[in-house]
Structure 1
Amino acid sequence: MVPLPKRNHLRTNNTPKTGPQRRKMLNIARRLFWEKGYLSTSMADISKVYGCRPANIYNFFSDKEEILFEVLREEMDQIIHPIQHLEEENGLPPPEQLRLIIESHLKVTLSYRRSAKLLFDVALDNLSPENRKKIIDLRDTYDRIIRKVIRRGIESQDWPEIDVKLAGFMIASMITRTRIWFHPKKGVSVNDLSDFIFKFALNGLKGDGRNGGRGSFRHRRDRAEERGTSCKSS
């Protein structure tokens, strides 16, 4: 008996790349990836919740990895798109640029607060090297934008010299961690939280020796050396 040829799940050129059906499938997959885990979710699971045959899913996606990639890409795009123009100077003061980054990132993080975990945890390990690089490139774009804004604030003297890379990571981490504990019924609105994180970050950047900046490190080191010298003298 001649074996049947292996099924090719690649989409045709006529396959729609957008539309309500595809959007619904992505939303269902996003929820199932969170509830069951990516590896434990099958195309049959997605089609069952959607209410169609598994074969219909392949009219929109070539395989499960493409669905995961689209979930991650979409969320990163929504974070980056509103702040893309901050790659270049745009006339806004650096503190207002920072506020815009925080508002944009927080809004997406809390809109997808369940599946946002995929962005920063294990999901990248399930992507092909090519797709993984695309997502990492988007994350690098975000990092590059926030670091440029922090450098502008140093140059404009809105805050003192600070470790730009570390400051960017700390601000982004504050935002992403909100997905763990935030709930709209806890009495804090998204706008209130955004304003709090902005003020907290701004106060940290403007710190005068009590923050984690380079200046404060040198200050502590010099004080320690002075104490050491005094002890030796006595």
Structure 2
Amino acid sequence: MIRWEIASILLNLDRLSSLLIPQRSSITMVRSRKESISACAARLFRKRGYQATSMRDIAEAESIKAASIYNHFKSKQEILSSLLLRMARLFTQGMQTVKTSGADPVGQLEQLIRLHVRLTIEHTDAIALIAGEWIHLEEPHLQEYRRMRDSYEAEFKEILNEGKQQGLLRDLATDIALFSMLSSLRWLYSWYSRNRDYPAEKLEEEMIATLLGGIKA
């Protein structure tokens, strides 16, 4: 009798927990919908511009009711900030991986070029927003984005200077080399959008040859 009562209690607790704890499948569906909305918004922000795109536009493109989108994002600004800050964090994490790789400055630059190419291929529309739509970020996200961007550029510049000091790179103006490399990498999305079937590994190698060929000693 006691065993039966204990079993009954445990069964009821299990049923209660199933009601209180979201099922993994439902969590996955919510996450997938949110990611889908983000990807859709990135495409529209890139095509029309952030200011010309409304939450209703995003909802229509995503084939959901306008009110439903607010279950995932509070505002259009939240979508933009989530897209740009995510990319900034990916570049920041990539830089830290490169800096601790043990490679010499040239090897680190090669890794950074591969990082840019890979992220451009995987997140083409979000990368495109870095070229201009970031100016629409509001505080405190604007400050956070600028901090990560400036830190990334400073570390990139440091690698270039180390390469010159070690005699691995030509004695060229570091600022010009930095500007040339980052401009080419940040605008790569424009070319790749029209050449999506181009092999990733080949693109990496050709970007490395193009960008490092003129500055290696």
Under a length normalisation based on structure 1, what TM-score does the superposition of the two structures give?
Answer: 0.71
From 172, 175, 178, give the equivalent of 1:165. 175
SS of the aligned residue for 2:214 comes to helix
Gap regions ≥5 residues in structure 1: 1-15, 208-234
CA contact 1:174–1:197 (8 Å) conserved in 2 = no
**Separation in 1, partners of 2:98, 2:200:** 23
**Partner in structure 2 of residue 140 of structure 1:** 150
**Partner in structure 1 of residue 159 of structure 2:** 149
Under a length normalisation based on structure 2, what TM-score does the superposition of the two structures give?
Answer: 0.76
CA contact 1:171–1:201 (8 Å) conserved in 2 = yes
SS of the aligned residue for 1:21 comes to helix
Count, aligned residues: 187
From 37, 41, 53, give the equivalent of 1:41. 53
Deviations 1:141-188 (A, max 9, x none): 221221121122122221233322221121111212322223034xx4
**Partner in structure 2 of residue 64 of structure 1:** 76
**Separation in 2, partners of 1:100, 1:140:** 19
Matches within 5 A, 1:16-31: 19-31=31-43
Query: What is the root-mean-square deviation of aligned Cα atoms in Å?
Result: 2.2
Taking a change above 3 Å as real, the CA distance of residues 91 and 196 of structure 1, as seen in their structure-2 partners, is: same
The structure whose RCO (Cα within 8 Å, separation 6+) is larger is 2
Counterpart code for 1:78 = L
**Separation in 1, partners of 2:112, 2:181:** 10
Higher fraction of helix:
2
Counterpart code for 2:182 = A
**Separation in 1, partners of 2:92, 2:207:** 18
**Partner in structure 2 of residue 11 of structure 1:** none
1:90 CA drift (Å) = 4.2
From 115, 119, 123, give the equivalent of 2:130. 119
1:117 CA drift (Å) = 2.4
SS of the aligned residue for 1:108 comes to helix
CA contact 1:84–1:145 (8 Å) conserved in 2 = no
CA contact 1:102–1:194 (8 Å) conserved in 2 = yes
Deviant stretches of 4+, over 4 Å: none
1:104 CA drift (Å) = 0.4
User: Residue 201 in 1 paired to residue 211 in 2?
Assistant: yes
SS of the aligned residue for 1:58 comes to helix
1:51 CA drift (Å) = 3.3
1:70 CA drift (Å) = 0.9
SS of the aligned residue for 1:71 comes to helix
**Separation in 2, partners of 1:38, 1:91:** 40
